[in-house]
């Protein structure tokens, strides 16, 4: 990357896992941890001391901290408590979701209560975004603050604004919000011209998956597409995106480097979590029938959720899986679940995704046979039944060479590269997923912008007053496809104030709805006779106000230093575990080369360092102790290296004699 200011991250903020990627002249690449893992589980544990642990550690200890570990937060973004409670989604969560008390009585905001503190979904998502940003900063060696964040194509305005708010709270400048299937198509399409003529290159070393700009795509299943797409040819692709909590399908036309979304459809309450819940429901029912027990404790529910997820993953590669749960007092629940049983359980969910595919095809005026390629995105597409049903619908084997976990982040990085000036040869033409309109007299939905309209777009409508001398007009902005306002989702109400008092019907109010490139609604209004103008920012009834976001942003900035120190302390403690374990291994391998005093010193240092890591809150002191420990083990490390080289020489000599 030519200049540090040009670096823009691409972030896939997922229900189950999140990833960060960047794009340079060599192409987009996933940023990985020391183990080569690109995924960061979208789990976080909030400690009683206010510290937040994000990622693998939070996920691994979820059963131990059931009420303070939050996951699947994406499914709560931009949604109200009443909506979630009515849908029955809160009953399965081990953590507590409450209705947040806001300044305005008509706002319905869901919050997660932990140790008496109520946090909103954007605040919690901001912790995940900070973790991804810190990974980028560490690996790129500079402060990265600009990002492109992906969202499900079927996210509505409130959910998109909540995602943007999460970015702001995390200290990010969100340059663009793009749809996940569109990002996947961008990652797929960049290699489409050479994809069919070349073998896939070997995966690069150094902990990054690179997507070549004019060649095969790496990090996948090694599958080649069925047919070629010559340079300049039009390619129609369907992106089937089934993640942990959401589903989308988008139909796109790709011509050269122009990516045009023809239609999109989906469900923001359908994903792998729902299929896990089928296993959970089965186990709960059978335990109730066999033992008369109800699984109610948060820890047990958290453990059952983890078990269900593991069983689902196991059945993607095996024909059956064994379940065993010790219920105490000699009660043991045991059964074998076959893949056929599981597939029958999830069939209604899979069928719902296919219904969305049919709807998207109809909106694009296409038949399944018109699709040149079907691209699978999202970890849940690894299930054999999903792939089988998708193949049956489209009449062709889905393309799986792209890693379904990583392709969205790679596409986001490509778009980030475009905005950062790294690439200038790709154009995205996306659409809005749902119609927008206002409530008219009698409670009808008056649609101004229809679903699958290309963004950015705008529509203008003229209004007037119905009361003499009226100076304010209230407008209810709606999103949805139903004909009655009560059946659509209210994005929020606002008032146009300061209209000069005139007789009813005389004022001419010109209201403009503008959908920006992020798919987010902005509203402006002008009274034509007086020239009075106003711009209104819609605040969703399920969202945070601008003032609330600014406050959260300030708080995050104010606590940035202590948060960084806390994160540094976690990293140092992990380093202590790693270094002491490696030292113990070296002692076993080469410790006989030390005298008794040297060995005793090292063993004592291991105990002291581990004890300090468990109790110390001083990151600087722990860092100094680690450095001192490294100096004490230099001689042991030299002995271990010498022993290893000697053994290698002996093996080579022995091999040569044979």
Strand partners, 640: none
95-147 pLDDT per residue, tens: 899 887 655 556 678 889 988 888 899 999 999 999 999 999 988 888 899 99
DSSP letter assigned to residue 210: B
Per the model's pLDDT, the better-predicted residue between 347 and 258 turns out to be: 347
202-214 pLDDT per residue, tens: 333 333 333 332 2
Residue 553 in any domain: the answer is: no
pTM: 0.72
Distance CA 98, CA 119 (A): 10
CA 233 to chain centre: 33
What CATH code is carried by the domain that includes residue 296? 3.90.640.10
Residue 551 in any domain: the answer is: no
| Pair 526, 414 in one domain | no
Terminal alpha carbon distance of the chain: 52
Of 429, 445, 463, at which residue does a domain stop?
429
Distance CA 196, CA 216 (A): 8
- Report the side by side order of strands in the sheet with 109-114: 96-100, 109-114, 117-119
| Pair 242, 146 in one domain | yes
Mean pLDDT, residues 259-288: 91
Query: Hey, what are 119's tokens?
Result: 């946090």
Q: Report the 10 Å Cβ neighbour count for 274.
A: 21
Residue 444 in any domain: the answer is: yes
Q: Catalytic residue numbers?
A: 12, 74, 180, 241
Residue 269 host element (H or E): none
Beta strands 521-527 and 509-515, pairing class: antiparallel
pLDDT band at 8 (very low <50, low <70, confident <90, very high): very high
3-class secondary structure per residue, 228-287: CCCCCCEEEEEEEEECCCCEEEEEEEEECCEEEEEEEEEECCCCHHHHHHHHHHHHHHHH
| Pair 523, 445 in one domain | yes
316-329 pLDDT per residue, tens: 999 999 988 888 88
Q: What is the model's pLDDT at position 336?
A: 94
Residue 552 in any domain: the answer is: no
448-486 pLDDT per residue, tens: 888 888 888 888 888 777 778 888 777 788 888 877 787
**Total domains in the fold of the chain:** 4
Place of tokens 């990583």: 406
Distance CA 515, CA 454 (A): 9
| Pair 140, 226 in one domain | yes
Residue 554 in any domain: the answer is: no
| Pair 423, 342 in one domain | no
Q: Is the pLDDT of residue 564 over 80?
A: no
| Pair 234, 90 in one domain | yes
Q: Are 260 and 252 in contact (CB under 8 A)?
A: yes
Residue 176 in any domain: the answer is: yes
Distance CA 141, CA 150 (A): 24
Of 378, 408, 429, at which residue does a domain stop?
429
| Pair 131, 154 in one domain | yes
Q: Own/partner pairs for 211-214, CB < 8 Å, 24+ apart?
A: 211/27, 211/28, 211/29, 211/187, 211/410, 211/414, 212/27, 213/27, 213/423, 214/190
| Pair 61, 159 in one domain | yes
Strand partners, 521: 515
Mean pLDDT, residues 68-89: 85
pLDDT band at 359 (very low <50, low <70, confident <90, very high): very high
Q: Are 597 and 544 in contact (CB under 8 A)?
A: no
Mean pLDDT, residues 341-363: 95
Mean per-residue pLDDT of the chain: 81
What CATH code is carried by the domain that includes residue 169? 3.30.420.40
| Pair 503, 645 in one domain | no
Distance CA 422, CA 414 (A): 9
Q: What is the model's pLDDT at position 445?
A: 80
What values do phi and psi take at 262, rounded to 5? -90, -35
| Pair 25, 99 in one domain | yes
| Pair 102, 203 in one domain | yes
Mean pLDDT, residues 384-410: 92
491-522 pLDDT per residue, tens: 777 777 777 888 877 888 888 888 888 777 88
Range of the domain at 340: 272-346
Q: What is the model's pLDDT at position 516?
A: 83
| Pair 508, 448 in one domain | yes
Residue 548 in any domain: the answer is: no
Q: Is the pLDDT of residue 642 over 50?
A: yes
pLDDT band at 343 (very low <50, low <70, confident <90, very high): very high
Per the model's pLDDT, the better-predicted residue between 305 and 87 turns out to be: 305
Q: Are 46 and 58 in contact (CB under 8 A)?
A: no
393-405 pLDDT per residue, tens: 999 999 888 889 9
What CATH code is carried by the domain that includes residue 595? 1.20.1270.10
Of 329, 346, 363, at which residue does a domain stop?
346
Distance CA 354, CA 43 (A): 29
What CATH code is carried by the domain that includes residue 537? 2.60.34.10
Mean pLDDT, residues 224-237: 56
**Percentage of the chain with pLDDT > 90?**
34
Residue 124 in any domain: the answer is: yes
């Amino acid at each position: 990357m030519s200049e540090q200011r040009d670096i823009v991250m691409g972030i896939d903020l997922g229900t189950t896992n999140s990833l960060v990627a960047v794009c340079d002249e060599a192409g987009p690449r996933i940023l990985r941890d020391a183990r080569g893992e690109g995924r960061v589980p979208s789990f976080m544990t909030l400690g009683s001391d206010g510290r937040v642990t994000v990622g693998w550690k939070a996920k691994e200890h979820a059963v131990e901290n059931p009420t303070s570990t939050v996951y699947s937060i994406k499914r709560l973004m931009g949604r109200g408590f009443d909506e979630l409670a009515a849908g029955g989604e809160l009953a399965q969560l081990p953590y507590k979701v409450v209705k947040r008390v806001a300044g305005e009585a008509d706002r319905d905001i869901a919050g997660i209560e932990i140790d008496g503190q109520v946090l909103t979904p954007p605040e919690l998502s901001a912790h995940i975004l900070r973790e991804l940003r810190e990974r980028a900063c560490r690996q790129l060696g500079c402060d990265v603050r600009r990002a492109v964040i992906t969202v499900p194509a079927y996210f509505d305005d409130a959910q998109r604004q909540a995602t943007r708010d999460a970015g702001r709270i995390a200290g990010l400048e969100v340059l663009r919000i793009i749809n996940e299937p569109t990002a996947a198509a961008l990652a797929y399409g960049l290699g489409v011209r050479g994809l069919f003529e070349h073998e896939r290159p070997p995966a690069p070393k150094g902990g990054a998956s690179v997507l070549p700009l004019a060649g095969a795509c790496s990090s996948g299943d090694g599958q080649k597409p069925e047919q070629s797409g010559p340079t300049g040819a039009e390619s129609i692709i369907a992106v089937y995106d089934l993640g942990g909590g959401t589903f989308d399908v988008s139909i796109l036309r790709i011509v050269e480097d122009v990516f045009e979304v023809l239609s999109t459809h989906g469900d923001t309450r359908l994903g792998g979590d729902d299929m896990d819940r089928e296993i959970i429901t089965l186990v709960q029912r059978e335990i109730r029938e066999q033992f008369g027990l109800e699984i109610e404790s948060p820890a047990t529910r958290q453990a059952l959720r983890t078990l269900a997820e593991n069983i689902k993953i196991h059945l993607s590669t095996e024909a059956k899986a064994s379940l065993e749960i010790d219920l105490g007092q000699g009660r043991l629940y045991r059964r074998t679940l076959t893949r056929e049983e599981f597939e029958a359980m999830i069939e209604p969910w899979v069928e719902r995704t296919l219904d969305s595919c049919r709807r998207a095809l109809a909106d694009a005026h296409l038949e399944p046979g018109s699709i040149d390629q079907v691209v699978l995105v999202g970890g849940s597409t690894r299930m054999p039944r999903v792939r089988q049903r998708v193949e049956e619908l489209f009449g062709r084997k889905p393309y799986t060479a792209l890693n379904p976990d990583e392709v969205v982040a790679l596409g986001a990085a490509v778009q980030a590269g475009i905005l950062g000036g790294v690439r200038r040869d790709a154009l995205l033409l996306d659409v809005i997923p749902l119609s927008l309109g206002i409530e008219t007299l009698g409670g009808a939905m008056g649609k101004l912008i229809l679903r699958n309209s290309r963004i950015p777009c705008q529509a203008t409508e003229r209004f007037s007053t119905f009361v003499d001398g009226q100076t304010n007009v209230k407008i209810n902005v709606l999103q949805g496809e139903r004909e009655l306002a009560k059946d659509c989702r209210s994005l929020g109400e606002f008032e146009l104030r300061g209209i000069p008092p005139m007789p009813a019907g005389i004022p001419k109010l010109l209201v403009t709805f503008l959908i920006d490139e992020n798919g987010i609604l902005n509203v402006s209004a002008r009274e034509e006779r007086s020239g009075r103008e106003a711009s209104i920012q819609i605040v969703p009834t399920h969202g945070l106000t601008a003032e609330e976001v600014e406050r959260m942003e300030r708080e995050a900035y104010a606590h940035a230093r202590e948060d960084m120190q806390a994160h540094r302390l976690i990293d140092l403690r992990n380093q202590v575990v790693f270094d002491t374990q490696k030292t113990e291994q070296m002692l076993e391998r080469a410790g006989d080369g030390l005298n008794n005093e040297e060995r005793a010193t090292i063993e004592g240092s291991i105990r002291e360092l581990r004890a300090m890591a468990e109790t110390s809150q001083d990151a600087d002191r722990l860092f100094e102790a680690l450095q001192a420990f490294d100096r004490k083990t230099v001689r042991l490390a030299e002995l271990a290296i010498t022993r290893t080289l000697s053994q290698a020489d002996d093996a080579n000599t022995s091999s040569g004699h044979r």
